[in-house]
Amino acid sequence: MFNFKPDRSQYPAIGEDGKLEIDLETGKFLKLWQGPNHPGITGNMSVELTVCGDEVVEGKTHVGYLHRGFEKLMERRTFIQVFPIVCRVCVPEPDFNEYCYAAAVEDLAGIEVPEYANWMRTLILEMGRFNSYMMFLGGIGGALGLGIGGQWMTYVRDLMLDRFEELTGARIYHMFILPGGVRGHLPEGFEGRMEEVLSTAERYLADMDRVMFSNSVFKTRTKGVGYIDPALFEPYGVTGPNARAGGVAKDVRKDSPYLVYDQLDFEVATATGSDIWARANVRREDVQTSIDLIRQILKKMPKTGPAMAKIPNVLHWKIPRGETYIKGECSRGEYGYYLVTDGTGYPRRINVRGPSYTHAMALLEHLIPGTNISDVAALMVSLHTYPPEIER
């Protein structure tokens, strides 16, 4: 068997400040840029790579290419005017921002959401989770040269966007979840059309199992690559599928149930490899979980009932002084909104806790040294991050 032992004598030394001593003038090192790429997984962000041969010795994340400053924009708008902004904090899965913000407002305003609206919100969130995972599966395939996987998953995602458009009137930014409930009821015949989408999705996912997950090249390029030591989960704020791929069953839907998740039957997918392969497999199982949950919701949810609670005139709405933190489980892990009010018609402070901030910044920069150039894209995609959460 061919064995290759790299010459580590050319690697940079570590200075007294703990940073690498990289002298580009020696010719031993080269600067390359990964990104910024758009759209989708990894999005508008880039990584400044320092390489020695084809191996990365240092990586620095650069953001700022995107619309930013969401939190400050929210603080200068009335509570209802915030909604066109919160969607933009995560484009592939915008509904989670709607839910977290609406639930925070309801908590401080003392609003009780009708049962029907809670079922509808859960449905919307699982539809959004499904779409986010479609983007991930297509992205991880594309990052390793499987272009057909990206085409398949984009097609299936587009079918779910048809259902979003039918239900909310929009394909991307839905603004369907509002303080007090949701904007409407299920259209007639929606359940049947949704089942067609889910059945189609399962057929294409079976193809992905054969073409990607059973592919020896995909296995070789992902197993043992991008390993995250479970000891790093707490100090680096690793959550969601990235933690569950390392054997830690973190899922807010189970740990702190919200909406109607305590009335649904599902298990949290875990793995032990904590590498790119494990993270991809956990998300593949999560897709099937979302499909099962959507079917359960449509079967169990009430057929009638109020979709909105009674709320004050939103143009003159003043919420009592207070503060709250609302969290849930998005496709990338724990997602939360911290809202502070001062009794006026505007939020005093809004802070968005998105998992992409820690996963794409500190964690990625920790994992990237020692990675081959050809594996950088797969490593970035495997962490499943969305830059708008970073630049919020």
Nearest-CA neighbor of 186 among 86, 302, 278, 74? 302
By the 8 A CB rule, do 127 and 164 touch? Answer: yes
- DSSP codes, 263-320: GS-------S--SHHHHHHHHHHHHHHHHHHHHHHHHHS-SSS-SB-----GGG--PP
29-38, 145-154, 173-182, 289-298: segment of lowest average pLDDT = 29-38
Residue 298 phi/psi, 5-degree rounding, is -65, -30
The pLDDT tens digits for 254-292 are 999 999 999 999 999 999 999 999 999 999 999 999 999
Those residues whose C-beta lies under 8 Å from the C-beta of residue 231, and which sit 6 or more positions away, are: none
pTM: 0.89
Looking at residue 189, its pLDDT comes to: 92
The pLDDT tens digits for 76-126 are 899 888 888 888 888 788 899 999 999 999 999 999 999 999 999 999 999
Please tell me the distance from the alpha carbon of residue 273 to that of residue 27, in angstroms, as a whole number. 37
The pLDDT tens digits for 55-88 are 888 888 888 777 778 888 888 899 888 888 888 8
Q: Interhelix angle for 115-143 vs 95-109, to 10°?
A: 150
- State the CB neighbour count (10 A cutoff) for residue 75: 14
- State the CB neighbour count (10 A cutoff) for residue 27: 8
Size (the chain), residues:
392
Peptide bond into 39 cis (omega under 30): yes
- Mean pLDDT value of segment 236-248: 91
